[in-house]
């Protein structure tokens, strides 16, 4: 065990643990044991990712959160099914194929054949699943890849059909002609939530165009637009019925325009400049000739801006003014141009006013790819977003352009193709979400979210404004919508299963993709001899992922009881962007199907950004490769860094590789060092014949205050972790775990280092005390190892494999016992088979915790004082005093009693006292400050009087106020709780220096006097440190004994050793440093170095232990003595033969077992006698 390396390569260790888990099928075994025990089921849904790209930090973050929570549940007595899933259909896949095959429009796919296109799609959907499995497994996530589900599996698709039919039978499905967000890059409409996934800042043309009135062509209505490409399809103008409109003469051009009076600044921008604009200037710019209300303009006809649709059917209703209250007066002209094919409000307003009618085509001169078609000849074959400049040029030539500018604004882009979206009227299949929207909102209230504000604000607001959901896509690679119908949709059949399709069509299919089911027809019942054909569309892939709870189990065709017993899910987790994605679709479908939410608990994570705060970009290479980070620092470090950050509170994280390194340095290395230190000292203990067997009785019976404290802190941590994990608050758990590891390594182990080494006390008493400390250290290391299993699965497994060997049940692990129930510490082959520890209330000890907190604060403030006075920690200080505001009796008794020696040791002080309250006035001044936040509200204008009175209080006054619990100022009575007390050091004398805690509740004063005795002790400490560093450089273990010699020109070091002999004797178990002259000539130097002690150079050497000989012995005898090993000398004498002559040498006369023994016996060093 002592052969453990001084530093651990965490990444390589994790790789070996991965190999162990794979070889022993540990994940499978954990699940098997849980099933055997009949553990209560804990349902977890894993949202299916696309496997068309490699996993990034967003996936790693979400995966870590999911793994942590599900591991915790599994180790807390739950049976957790963790099944991987893959989103195989939809735009992400098709977009990749379109790029690969250079497909730019729909017709190319039809020419190629849907069967060939879909087969190509099928070929890439699992392209990266092996890489995903490799990365996810290396991250330590336990999830079942062998039994995964895919949205392209026939069973999954059949369940999706079932879901849709349930909605259809509830009359929640309809086909509508609606204006939808439309991706020209993917040639398909998108849902409203998809349109909100990818906004970008863009610059678009912003123009004002005139529309001359038919009855007076010298007067023109003017409208503003940022989409000039929609002007060829203009059919109407819309005004607000109640706004005030004016007809003005623009004096510079002599043109007459009509616009909203409030929007005159659009035509005359100087009016927006409050400093330059004066109403008197209006007469120079324009003249108001007439004023109207918007409703007075309704019905007026205007000359179309283009004549492309002037002679089309129903055009008699076109090109007139209508009104609607959606028009605003905060931008534009107060008159909105209407192109019903390209605007949701435009379509609604034009339909309501008879400009267009249901069932009839509306002007829409662009194809599925966003290219202009007939009759817009000037830009035919041009993409709409590239046609703006040409159309603006035509407008200018025709005298219709009034104003041209640019607008910088946020604009939606396709989340998959990254091309700008347009709004386009397309026929789609919809779910009537608005019909049951209120129920969705109510169901949301039944769920628990972390953080809660995402549920209460962001998600709630999205739900309250939810629109009917367009679930169809005019694409090819997806689950076909299971509707068979005749041409005019007067006869419609919705299919809910493969069996139903076979029954109605006479054809049984094995695959449900388009190339198969599109060939299947159903005989018409209304018109015998004719057939019904499947409609063209496929499902939006979000509909499939929202159906995942049912489809992954092939519900209701299989696993009916299992699904219903575990629904809703206990837990799901994904990123903030899924509030408009998966979280939404889950909630919609579960409400529609079962009237309840799909999940109970949800953790929302934020975004992981590059270090500069920008989005991570492969192209920019502005973030480190995740695989490289794992290979450098290990997956545990990355996991802890991510879930100990704001990102688990749905905030953004700027990823910094140094942060991962920080986890290694600040948590894992100290934790590993404590673990290695424990093993080394147990080995030392056992080498002396003391078998180490863990004993809870010994742990609980210890009287050592630090033992009691660390045990109490451990039980408190266990209690806290269970409470917080029950509330899914990872963001509170991780800081507590990190803090605990710091307490364990930086405080408990450091304070007890000598004790655990068996160096406190003498003989059996020292060993007994060492064993008690090691029992406690084992107990807390084991508890925290198991407790942190869900969070850092690798290092805890590594620690457990060593710690389990001390358990009596370890022998039962043989012959498969380690993979059997019941799980037992020692017997069980993995830490992850164990149940998490429950806290022991009897060991919670708030008094011990508070006393230790006081100790730590005193030590920290004492160190600050040392730094201020530039006093090395190796130089002792004479006296330390602590003044504590209102300490409990237990705290005072603790730090002046059993804990006092630790304070003295940590501060290298000779004396420590706590100043009693009766003497505080001689050391500190108590001052009070008003709590402005609280008193400001209570006192209002009287706050100044209160502040002045509080400021004028003396120390005695302040003490009296705090004792009485109130301060009376004139007619005001102020509660002492609303005053903030603060202590400040006031002891006189240059030898005193003090530091206080930020809240002023503790002041630590230090006597900084430096006399000869202090300086001598400081030098002794420096020499000790030099010796320890040499031992470390030589690679020595704790049990390795050495002899130490020093060589100096003067006598300062020797005097320091002489004056502090007891210190060296205790530290080195009787072996003290000696002058180099005392070293035998044959002493083997292990390490030597010139170091500085008290400002002087001294050479310090550590040597292998060897015999020392009497001066003047025969060279032959000396030769024999120098060759002997100490371990071989047993009975206090030795025989040797030199030149055929026998000699009997006696210990203490002719030889000694060490140089120290000789120096004492011969009085070669007088201070050693």
Q: What is the DSSP string of 727-755?
A: TT-HHHHHHHHHHHHHIIIIIIIHHTHHH
**Annotation marks residue 615 as catalytic:** yes
Phi, psi angles (nearest 5°) of residue 935: -70, -30
**Alpha-carbon distance 634 to 337, whole Å?**
60
Sequence-distant (6+) residues with CB within 8 A of 247 are 219, 256, 257, 258, 288, 289, 290, 291, 292
CB 469 within 8 A of CB 432: no
H or E element at residue 20: helix 10-24
Catalytic option among 166, 338, 578, 715: 578
**Annotation marks residue 87 as catalytic:** yes
Please state at what angle helix 635-643 crosses helix 793-803, rounded to 10 degrees: 120
How many CB atoms lie under 10 A from the CB of residue 84? 21
| b/e per residue 856-889 (b: at least 16 CB within 10 A) | ebbbebbbbbbeeeebebbbbbbbbbbbbbebee
Question: Tokens for 951?
Answer: 């400021």
Question: Tokens for 107?
Answer: 């017709």
Question: Tokens for 526?
Answer: 């209304």
Look at residues 121, 89, 105, 102 and name the one whose alpha carbon lies nearest to residue 187. 105
Residue with tokens 């504000």: 453
Q: Rounded to 5 degrees, what angle do the CA atoms 1000, 1003, 1006 make?
A: 155
The count of C-alpha atoms lying within 13 angstroms of the C-alpha of 788, restricted to the half-sphere facing its C-beta, is 32
Question: Tokens for 499?
Answer: 């069996």
H or E element at residue 475: none
Q: What are the angstrom distances between the C-alpha of 91 and each of 94, 118, 192, 362?
A: 5, 12, 16, 28
**Alpha-carbon distance 82 to 764, whole Å?**
53
Q: Rounded to 5 degrees, what angle do the CA atoms 1109, 1115, 1117 make?
A: 60
Catalytic option among 86, 162, 371, 582: 582
Paired residues of 976 in beta bridges:
none
**Alpha-carbon distance 1106 to 55, whole Å?**
61
**Annotation marks residue 542 as catalytic:** yes
Q: Give the pairing of strands 483-485 and 531-534.
A: antiparallel
Catalytic option among 132, 224, 429, 542: 542
**Annotation marks residue 48 as catalytic:** yes
| b/e per residue 43-77 (b: at least 16 CB within 10 A) | bbbbbbbbbbeebebbbbbbbbbbbbbbbbbbbbe
Look at residues 64, 29, 1081 and name the one whose alpha carbon lies nearest to residue 626. 64
| b/e per residue 296-313 (b: at least 16 CB within 10 A) | ebeebebebbbebbeeee
Cα torsion through 37, 39, 43, 45, rounded to 10: -40
Catalytic option among 46, 87, 153, 636: 87
The three-state DSSP-derived secondary structure of 422-461 is EEEEEEEEEECHHHHHHHHHHHHHCCEEECHHHHHHHHHH
**Annotation marks residue 296 as catalytic:** no
**Annotation marks residue 469 as catalytic:** no
**Alpha-carbon distance 320 to 338, whole Å?**
10
Phi, psi angles (nearest 5°) of residue 1048: -140, 160
Catalytic option among 615, 621, 951, 960: 615
**Alpha-carbon distance 775 to 696, whole Å?**
8
Distance of CA 159 to the CA centre of its chain: 34
Paired residues of 1110 in beta bridges:
none
Q: Give the pairing of strands 979-985 and 40-42.
A: unpaired
Catalytic option among 618, 960, 1032, 1141: 618
The count of C-alpha atoms lying within 13 angstroms of the C-alpha of 522, restricted to the half-sphere facing its C-beta, is 24
- The catalytic residue positions are 48, 87, 542, 578, 582, 615, 618
């Amino acid at each position: 065990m002592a052969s453990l390396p001084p530093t651990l390569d965490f990444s390589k260790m994790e790789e070996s643990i991965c190999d162990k888990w794979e070889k022993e099928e540990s994940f499978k075994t954990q699940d098997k044991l849980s099933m055997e025990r009949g553990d209560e089921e804990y349902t977890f849904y894993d949202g299916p990712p696309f496997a068309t790209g490699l996993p990034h930090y967003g996936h790693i973050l979400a995966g870590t959160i999911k793994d942590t929570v599900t591991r915790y549940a599994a180790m807390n007595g739950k049976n957790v099914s963790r099944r991987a899933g893959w989103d195989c259909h939809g735009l992400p896949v098709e977009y990749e194929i379109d790029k690969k095959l250079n497909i730019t429009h729909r017709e190319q796919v039809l020419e190629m054949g849907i069967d060939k296109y879909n087969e190509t799609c099928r070929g890439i959907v699992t392209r990266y699943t092996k890489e995903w499995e490799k990365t996810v497994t290396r991250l330590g996530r336990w999830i079942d890849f062998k039994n995964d589900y895919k949205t392209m599996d026939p069973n999954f698709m059949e369940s999706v059909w079932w879901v849709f039919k349930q909605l259809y039978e509830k009359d929640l499905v309809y086909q509508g002609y609606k204006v939808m967000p439309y991706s020209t890059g993917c040639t398909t409409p998108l849902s409203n939530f998809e349109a909100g996934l990818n906004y970008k800042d863009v610059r678009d043309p912003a123009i004002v165009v005139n529309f001359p009135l038919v009855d007076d062509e010298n007067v023109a209505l003017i409208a503003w637009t940022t989409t000039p490409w929609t002007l060829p399809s203009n059919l109407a103008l819309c005004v607000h019925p109640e706004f005030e409109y004016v007809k003005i003469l623009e004096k510079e051009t002599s043109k007459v325009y009509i616009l909203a009076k409030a929007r005159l600044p659009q035509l005359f921008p100087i009016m927006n400049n409050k400093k330059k604009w004066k109403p008197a200037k209006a007469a120079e710019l324009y003249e108001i000739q007439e004023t109207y209300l918007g409703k007075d303009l309704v019905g007026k006809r205007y000359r179309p801006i283009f004549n492309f649709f002037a002679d089309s059917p129903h055009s008699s209703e076109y090109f007139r003014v209508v009104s609607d209250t959606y028009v605003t007066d905060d931008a534009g002209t107060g008159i909105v141009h209407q192109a019903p094919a390209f605007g949701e409000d435009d379509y609604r307003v034009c339909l309501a006013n008879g400009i267009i009618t249901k069932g009839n085509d509306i002007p829409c001169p662009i194809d599925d790819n966003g290219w202009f078609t007939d009759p817009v000849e000037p830009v035919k074959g041009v993409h709409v977003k590239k046609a703006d400049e040409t159309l603006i040029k035509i407008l200018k030539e025709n005298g219709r352009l009034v104003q041209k500018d640019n607008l910088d604004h946020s604009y939606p882009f396709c989340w998959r193709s990254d091309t700008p979206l347009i709004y386009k009227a397309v026929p789609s299949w919809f779910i009537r979400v608005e019909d049951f929207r209120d129920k969705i909102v109510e169901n949301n209230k039944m769920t628990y979210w972390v953080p809660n504000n995402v549920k209460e604000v962001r998600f709630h607001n999205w739900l309250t404004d939810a629109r009917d959901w367009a679930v169809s896509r005019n694409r090819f690679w997806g689950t076909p919508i299971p509707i068979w119908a005749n041409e005019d949709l007067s006869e419609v059949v919705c299919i809910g299963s493969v069996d139903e399709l076979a029954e109605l069509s006479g054809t049984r299919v094995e695959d449900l993709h388009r190339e198969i089911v599109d060939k299947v027809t159903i005989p018409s019942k209304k018109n015998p001899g004719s057939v019904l054909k499947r409609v063209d569309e496929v499902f939006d892939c979000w509909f499939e992922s929202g159906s995942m709870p049912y489809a992954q189990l092939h519900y209701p065709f299989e696993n009916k009881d299992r699904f219903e017993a575990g629904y809703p899910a206990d837990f799901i987790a994904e990123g903030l962007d899924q509030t408009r994605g998966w979280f939404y679709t889950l909630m919609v479908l579960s409400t529609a199907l079962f009237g309840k939410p799909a999940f109970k608990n949800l953790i929302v994570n934020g975004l992981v950004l590059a270090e500069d705060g920008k989005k991570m970009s492969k192209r920019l290479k502005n973030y480190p490769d995740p695989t490289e980070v794992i290979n450098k620092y290990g997956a545990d470090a990355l996991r802890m860094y991510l879930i100990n950050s704001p990102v688990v509170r749905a905030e953004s994280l700027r990823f910094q590789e140094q942060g991962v390194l920080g986890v290694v340095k600040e948590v894992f290395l100290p934790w590993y060092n404590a673990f290695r230190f424990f093993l080394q000292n147990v080995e030392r203990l056992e080498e002396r014949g003391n078998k180490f067997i863990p004993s809870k009785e010994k742990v609980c019976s210890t009287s050592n205050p630090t033992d009691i404290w660390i045990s109490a802190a451990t039980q408190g941590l266990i209690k806290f972790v269970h409470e917080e994990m029950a509330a899914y608050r990872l963001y509170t758990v991780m800081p507590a775990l990190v803090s605990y590891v710091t307490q364990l390594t930086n405080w408990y182990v450091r304070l007890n280092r000598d004790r655990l080494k068996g160096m406190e006390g003498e003989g059996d008493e020292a060993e007994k005390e060492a064993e008690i400390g090691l029992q406690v250290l084992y107990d807390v290391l084991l508890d925290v190892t198991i407790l942190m299993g869900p969070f850092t699965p690798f290092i805890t497994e590594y620690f457990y494999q060593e710690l389990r060997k001390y358990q009596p049940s370890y022998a039962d692990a043989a012959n498969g016992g380690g993979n059997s129930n019941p799980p037992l510490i020692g017997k069980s082959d993995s830490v992850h088979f164990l149940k998490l520890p429950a806290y022991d209330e009897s060991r919670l000890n708030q008094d011990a915790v508070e006393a230790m907190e006081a100790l730590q604060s005193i030590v920290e403030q004492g160190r600050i004082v040392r730094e201020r006075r530039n006093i090395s920690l190796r130089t002792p200080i004479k006296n330390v005093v602590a003044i504590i505001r209102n300490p409990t009796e237990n705290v005072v008794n603790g730090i002046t009693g059993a804990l006092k020696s630790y304070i003295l040791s940590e501060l290298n002080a000779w004396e420590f006292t706590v100043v009693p309250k009766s003497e505080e006035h001689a050391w500190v001044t108590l001052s009070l400050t008003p709590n402005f936040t609280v008193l400001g509200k209570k006192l209002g204008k009287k706050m100044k009087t209160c502040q002045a009175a509080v400021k004028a209080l003396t120390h005695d006054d302040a003490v009296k106020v705090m004792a009485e619990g109130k301060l009376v100022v004139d007619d005001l009575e102020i509660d002492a709780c609303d005053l903030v007390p603060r202590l400040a050091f006031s002891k006189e004398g240059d030898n005193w220096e003090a530091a206080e805690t930020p809240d002023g509740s503790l002041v630590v004063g230090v006597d900084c006097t430096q006399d000869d005795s202090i300086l001598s002790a400081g030098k002794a400490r420096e020499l000790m440190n030099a010796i320890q560093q040499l031992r470390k450089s030589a690679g020595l273990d704790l049990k390795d004994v050495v002899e130490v010699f020093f060589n100096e020109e003067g006598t300062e070091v020797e005097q320091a050793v002489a004056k502090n002999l007891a210190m060296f004797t205790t530290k080195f178990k009787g072996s003290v440093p000696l002058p180099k002259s005392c070293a035998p000539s044959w002493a083997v130097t292990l390490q030597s170095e010139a170091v500085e002690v008290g400002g002087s150079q001294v050479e310090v050497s550590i040597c292998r232990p060897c015999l020392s000989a009497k001066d003047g012995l025969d060279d032959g005898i000396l030769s024999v003595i120098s060759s002997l090993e100490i371990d071989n000398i047993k009975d206090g004498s030795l025989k040797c033969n030199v030149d055929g002559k026998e000699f009997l040498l006696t210990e203490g006369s002719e030889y000694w077992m060490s140089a120290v023994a000789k120096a004492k016996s011969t009085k070669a060093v007088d201070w050693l006698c």
